[in-house]
Amino acid sequence: MQWRHFFSTAGLLVGTLFFALSLTPSLIPREGVVQGVISGASLAAGYGVGVLLVWLWHFFELPSVSAKTARLLRWLAAGFCVLLALSFLWQATQWQNSVRALMGLETVSGVRPLTIALVAGLVFLLFLLLGKLFKLLFSFVFGKLAHRVPRRIAGILGLFAAFWLFWAVFNDVLLTAALHQVDGIYQRLDARIVPDMKAPEGSLKAGGPDSLLRWQDMGHQGRRYLALGPTAKDIAEVTGEAKDPIRVYAGLNAADAPDERARLALEELKRVGGFERSVLLLITPTGTGWVDPGAINSVEYLFAGDIASVAAQYSYLPSPIALMTEDAYGRETAQALFRSIYGYWRTLPRATRPKLYLFGLSLGALNSDRSFDFYDILDDPFHGALWTGPPFRSDTWRQVTAHRDEGSPAWLPEFRGGAMVRFGNHFGGYDKGSVPWGRFRIAYLQHGSDPIVFFDPAAAWRRPAWMAEPRAQDVSPDLQWYPIVTMLQLAMDMHAGIAPMGYGHSYAPADYVRAWQRLTEPEGWDEARIERLNEKLLKWNPK
């Protein structure tokens, strides 16, 4: 079979352009294999656009070129594609190093162009074969119906049949089988009890001998959260006199229903004296049940251990999978825990009850935002929330960012002078505000290079607002917007990008210290003490 019968010249031309543009930098540094996957998907997407353009050309019966001219154009297109691909592959390493330099990473070299080209070619061929299979299926259905119904109706029915079969195979067979395997793996990981991580012996410890929540029901991340926090002795090294922080965690196996787990968490929190501390933190964990130790350790130090925190697990799957398969369950669990804790907290005397704050990272930030309705707390609001790396689907984040004060950038917005909502990152931000920060406060901690925050499907057809000047300091000036390609780059950054601590979706303890200090304003913390705390948290190694 001649290549011109298997490949579309216009498809390869547009596809190679997309391939070349995909090599330009995005938010997160990419290894060769990851870049190859992005470039292969971009090549396939561009190929599809080129094929569609040819189809539209013929559909509108526009004039065609002669066979001789078509042959010349194919050779010219082939030469252009090779030169374009080689030119951009040659610069790929340099572009990636420009992002790595912003994040303090070592530069890379070597066989990246070869790895990228090989992986991209394999990914493209996979998509191309799937496209050919789709076309064969459509042609088969069309051929069977063309003699029985009008041709246009046969074409529509053929498309529906092909789409339905492809979706059924992908969703009901491949995706279901993959999720079943992933579920089994993470279920076993969640049930695993590390031998050197023993249940607490104190009767006033969650998971201890008198606890309402059994150690074996906590889940792997819950046990880590309870066992690896700082003690009063650890905290006293920085603050002087200190208390043992109180932590409560209701694992997924503690009870069958979210409301029951929330009730157990409340009763356990009351049993261990959580409402007698000066601060109470209501945490919504990530999809795996993980609570970022940098987030909780930092605020426990800031309050010298005079703080209690409570969390409830809703999944043991990674956040992207949990969002896809258990979105409603995560929201229900967060709402149940909030109703339980806030409902009891508001019955306590205002003069003696603890200050109540919410916290969530990533998917936890999304579900924490969904856990309450502003109308339900207007008469007696809690004190505030810290939401870190909020996914782009977070409603409050989207509304505030969209209606930010004129002149403030999308990656660090100012909203209504900073009276209620403020944004910050490792370059600052929380002190920006033309009016005082009120009693009820929401703080967002987000890096300008975090793709979880700044991914948007609309990037396929419009330039994201965060790409406007001035840009965040951790975003490459070489990053440009290209239709479809930029969306694919950001999608891969979101799912496969790994940034160093303090960049992307990886938040450093010092980021949390700054955010909590500005949000809660604990007493007695000058810059020298903050620096000592940051050094302590950076070297944190629980025994």
SS3 track for 140-189: HHHHHHCCCCCHHHHHHHHHHHHHHHHHHHHHHHHHHHHHHHHHHHHHHH
- All residues at 6 or more sequence positions from 209 whose CB lies less than 8 Å from its CB, including other chains: 199, 201, 203
Q: Which residue from 359, 281, 294, 303 is spatially nearest to 502, judged by alpha carbons?
A: 294
Identify the pLDDT of residue 180.
63
Average pLDDT of span 62-69: 77
DSSP state of 467: G
Between 94 and 305, residue with greater pLDDT: 305
- Given a contact cutoff of 8 angstroms between Cβ atoms, the answer to whether 368 and 359 are in contact is yes
- 3-state secondary structure (DSSP) of residue 9: helix
Angle at 423 between CA 481 and CA 332, to 5 degrees: 95
**Which two tokens mark 69?**
């001219």
Q: How far apart are CA 308 and CA 300, in angstroms?
A: 8
Q: What is the tens place of the pLDDT at every residue in 350-379?
A: 999 999 999 999 999 999 999 999 888 999
In terms of DSSP bridges, do strands 441-445 and 421-424 run parallel, antiparallel, or are they unpaired?
A: parallel
Question: Does the pLDDT of residue 183 top 70, yes or no?
Answer: no
Question: Does the pLDDT of residue 212 top 50, yes or no?
Answer: yes
Report the interhelical angle of 151-167 vs 112-145 (nearest 10°).
130
Question: Does the pLDDT of residue 1 top 50, yes or no?
Answer: no
In terms of DSSP bridges, do strands 246-250 and 307-312 run parallel, antiparallel, or are they unpaired?
A: parallel
Q: How far apart are CA 253 and CA 334, in angstroms?
A: 16
- Alpha helix positions (H), 258-393: 258-271, 293-302, 319-325, 327-345, 363-370, 374-377
Question: Does the pLDDT of residue 543 top 60, yes or no?
Answer: no
Identify the pLDDT of residue 273.
95
Q: Which of 67-76, 107-116, 172-181, 484-493 has the highest mean pLDDT?
A: 484-493
Q: Which residue from 42, 38, 21 is spatially nearest to 30, judged by alpha carbons?
A: 38
- Given a contact cutoff of 8 angstroms between Cβ atoms, the answer to whether 246 and 307 are in contact is yes
Tell me the pTM: 0.91
Q: How far apart are CA 523 and CA 440, in angstroms?
A: 18
